[in-house]
């Protein structure tokens, strides 16, 4: 048995690296689709505006994608570094799933990103478009495999336990487990939405500053269009996921509703849980709303509490409750903004509503915040299990000395904090510089191949 300190440190290390890694795909999956569509539209219409959009976002995409790749490389090895016993037990199942991700998706992305970023002037525009679309396929495949692997840990099916290892008895059930069918649409919508907020927020900044106006209007319009369509669908998909998870992992639902005893019909806004006593020392709740959300419109049904779960199987209420609140309240704000955007648009004032633009700028990171919150809810809510109901996290950790584990965590936190700062500074600088001019003084358009490397 490893010491509890090593388990905690390893958990922190995994949480930090996973949330950090996740925030890059959260933007780049949607951005790759956006870039591919923009380049294709440019090819079909020849309108330089779309080339300008493509060039500008390509710069942000390039660095974000690179950071996502290196952070992902770390994840591949972390399963074995700190979680050697877990790696040994689930290698025959999850190793294969992630192996398939690497061979089908990772190589595809890596092979075509070079062409997409540096191919201008070397390949024909059609080949460029092809590379862009291959990148989209790669990022989507990647999301699919990773979600499949993670969902299996949430709700394992299709396996047999042989000795201390898990073996697949039915690969179809392993890959397309029930949790996957709920969580996959949810996360797919989430990554598209978070990219749309990011794009929309930056476009709004140009509108506030009155710069690069056609560029800003066009991208804001696309981003808000996507959001107006996807936000209601996402709220629905998220609700389905929550209902499914509530049925399969009751402790997670209990923790994110923030109740201990099952005698409350309200909806908790704030809680200060006391884990040792099993009660909230402070709590702000809206009466009856919890029951209404639980599909009892009379508002009387009681919301189940965490005391129903045996003590050694309870997740940490702090992280699950506030992770969920971060996701859900950001989602409501996003929904409201998308709705307001649609109303403004129908009234023809989308490009003149100053206050709305300022709010939009603040909403730029909203999607990433919501995804991080959701990820924390899903992963912390699964505790104390690493594979739900089968392997406890404390039994999964490697044989490590405390010093090595602390050194690892310190290294990651330092480097990642530095990277986060650099990434934000890079975005700010790129946005300040603005999109490049593509129209010469004579009014003729410069074409892709003549400009070359961008």
Partner 1 sequence: MLEYASYALVLLALGAYVLLDGYDLGIGILSLFDRSDQRRKEYNELIATAWDANESWLILAGVALWAGLPGVYATVLPGVYLPLIVMLLALVLRGTAIELQSAAPGYRRGWGLVFGISSLVATVCQGLVVGGVLSGLPHRGGVFTGSTWDWLTPYSVLCALGMVAVYLLAGAAWLQDKTTGTAHERAGRLGRPLILAVAVAGLVLGFGLRFADPQHLGFDQPLRATLFGLAVAVAVVCAATAWYGFGRRPDWRPFAAVAGTEAAGLLALVAATAPVVVPPDLTVHAAAGPHGSQLFLLIGVGGCMPVVLAYNLYAWWVFRGKFARPPAHTDPAGPPDTGAAAERSVPAAPAAGDGPWAAVAARRVLLTLLAVAVAAVSQDVFGGVRVWIGPVGVALFAMTALAGWIRSDRRSAAAGEFDLQAADK
CB of 372 to partner 1, least distance (A): 19
CB of 274 to partner 1, least distance (A): 30
Work out whether 15 is an interface residue with partner 1 (CB under 8 A): no
**Orientation of helix 366-382 relative to helix 250-257, angle to 10°:** 130
Q: Which residues contact 444 (CB under 8 A, 6 or more apart)?
A: none
Interacting span for partner 1 (CB under 8 A) from 69-77, 187-195, 247-255, 319-327: 69-77
Locate 391 and state its tokens: 């392997």
**Binding to partner 1 (CB under 8 A): which residues in 298-357?**
332, 335-336, 339-340, 342-343, 345-352, 354
CB of 319 to partner 1, least distance (A): 23
- Give the nearer residue to partner 1 in terms of CB position, either 147 or 212: 212
The span from the CA of 27 to the CA of 33, in Å, is: 10
Interacting span for partner 1 (CB under 8 A) from 185-193, 359-367, 368-376, 401-409: 401-409
Output the CA–CA distances (angstroms, integers) from residue 17 to 5, 76, 151, in the order listed: 18, 11, 19
- Give the nearer residue to partner 1 in terms of CB position, either 284 or 407: 407
CB of 305 to partner 1, least distance (A): 21
**DSSP designation for 304:** P
The DSSP element (H or E) to which 453 belongs, if any, is none
The span from the CA of 274 to the CA of 276, in Å, is: 6
Per-residue DSSP letters for 224-265? HHHHHHHHHHHHHHHHHHHHHHHHH-HHHHHHHHT-SSS-B-
Among the listed residues 393, 376, 388, 320, the one whose alpha carbon sits nearest the alpha carbon of residue 151 = 388
- Give the nearer residue to partner 1 in terms of CB position, either 305 or 435: 435
CB of 272 to partner 1, least distance (A): 27
Per-residue interface string for the shown chain with partner 1, residues 275-294, x marking contact by CB under 8 A: -----------------xx-
- Give the nearer residue to partner 1 in terms of CB position, either 78 or 315: 78
Whether 264 contacts 302, CB under 8 Å? yes
> Quick one: which of 44, 45, 46, 77 contacts partner 1 (CB under 8 A)?
77
**Binding to partner 1 (CB under 8 A): which residues in 136-175?**
162, 164-165, 167-168, 171
CB of 403 to partner 1, least distance (A): 7
**Helix, strand, or coil (residue 324):** helix
Per-residue interface string for the shown chain with partner 1, residues 435-454, x marking contact by CB under 8 A: xxxxx---x-x-----xxxx
**DSSP designation for 303:** B
- Give the nearer residue to partner 1 in terms of CB position, either 119 or 365: 119
Peptide bond into 376 cis (omega under 30): no
- Give the nearer residue to partner 1 in terms of CB position, either 248 or 345: 345
Report strand pairing: 279-286 vs 267-274.
antiparallel
CB of 360 to partner 1, least distance (A): 16
- Give the nearer residue to partner 1 in terms of CB position, either 235 or 359: 235
**Binding to partner 1 (CB under 8 A): which residues in 82-141?**
82, 84-85, 87-88, 91-96, 98-104, 106-115, 117-119, 121-123, 134
Per-residue DSSP letters for 139-150? HHHHHHHHHHHH
**Binding to partner 1 (CB under 8 A): which residues in 363-392?**
none
Task: Give pairs for 239-244: CB < 8 Å, separation 24+.
Answer: 240/182, 240/186, 241/182, 241/183, 241/186, 244/178, 244/179, 244/182
CB of 279 to partner 1, least distance (A): 29
Q: In the Cβ-directed half-sphere of 99, how many Cα atoms lie within 13 Å?
A: 7
CB of 257 to partner 1, least distance (A): 15
- Give the nearer residue to partner 1 in terms of CB position, either 242 or 271: 242
Work out whether 69 is an interface residue with partner 1 (CB under 8 A): yes
**Helix, strand, or coil (residue 267):** strand
**Binding to partner 1 (CB under 8 A): which residues in 208-267?**
209-215, 217-218, 221, 224-225, 228-236, 239-240
> How many residues in the shown chain lie near partner 1 by CB under 8 A?
133
**Binding to partner 1 (CB under 8 A): which residues in 419-438?**
419, 422, 426, 430, 433-438
The answer for 348, left when phi > 0, alpha when psi is -120 to 50, beta otherwise, is left
């Amino acid at each position: 048995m490893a010491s509890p300190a090593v388990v905690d440190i390893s958990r922190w290390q995994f949480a930090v690296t996973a949330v950090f890694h996740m925030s890059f795909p959260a933007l780049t999956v949607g951005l790759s689709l956006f870039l591919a569509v923009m380049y294709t539209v440019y090819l079909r219409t020849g309108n330089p505006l779309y080339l300008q959009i493509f060039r500008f976002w390509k710069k942000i995409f390039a660095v974000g994608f690179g950071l996502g790749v290196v952070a992902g490389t770390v994840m591949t090895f972390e399963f074995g570094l700190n979680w050697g016993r877990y790696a040994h037990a689930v290698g025959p199942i999850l190793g294969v799933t992630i192996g398939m991700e690497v061979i089908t998706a990772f190589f595809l992305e890596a092979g075509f990103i070079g062409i997409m970023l540096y191919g201008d002037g070397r390949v024909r525009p059609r080949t460029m478009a092809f590379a862009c679309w291959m990148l989209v396929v790669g990022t989507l495949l990647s999301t699919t495999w990773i979600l499949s692997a993670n969902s299996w840990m949430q709700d394992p099916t299709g396996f047999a336990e042989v000795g201390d290892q898990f073996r697949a008895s039915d690969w179809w059930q392993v890959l397309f487990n029930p949790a996957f069918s709920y969580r996959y649409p949810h996360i797919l919508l989430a990554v598209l939405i978070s990219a749309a907020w990011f794009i929309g927020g930056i476009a709004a900044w140009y509108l506030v500053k009155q710069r690069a106006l056609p560029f800003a209007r066009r991208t804001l319009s696309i981003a808000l269009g996507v959001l107006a369509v996807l936000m209601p669908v996402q709220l629905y998909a998220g609700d389905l996921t929550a209902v499914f998870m509530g049925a399969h992992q009751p402790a997670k639902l209990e923790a994110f509703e923030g109740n201990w005893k099952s005698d409350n019909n309200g909806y908790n806004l704030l809680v200060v849980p006391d884990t040792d006593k099993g009660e909230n020392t402070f709590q702000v709740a809206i009466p009856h709303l919890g029951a209404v959300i639980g599909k009892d419109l009379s508002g009387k049904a009681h919301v189940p509490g965490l005391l129903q779960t045996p003590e050694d199987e309870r997740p940490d209420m702090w992280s699950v409750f506030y992770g969920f609140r971060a996701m859900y309240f950001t989602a409501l704000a996003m929904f409201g903004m998308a709705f307001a955007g649609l109303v403004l648009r129908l009234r023809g004032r989308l490009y003149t509503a100053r206050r709305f633009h300022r709010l939009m700028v603040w909403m730029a990171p909203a999607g990433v915040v919501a995804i991080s919150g959701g990820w924390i809810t899903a992963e912390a809510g699964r505790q104390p299990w690493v594979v739900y109901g089968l392997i406890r996290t404390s039994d999964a950790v490697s044989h490590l000395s405390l010093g090595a584990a602390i050194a690892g965590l310190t290294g990651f936190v330092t480097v990642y904090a530095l990277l986060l700062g650099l990434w934000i500074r890079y975005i700010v600088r790129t946005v300040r510089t603005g999109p490049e001019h593509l129209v010469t003084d004579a009014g003729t358009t410069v074409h892709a191949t003549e400009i070359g490397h961008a």
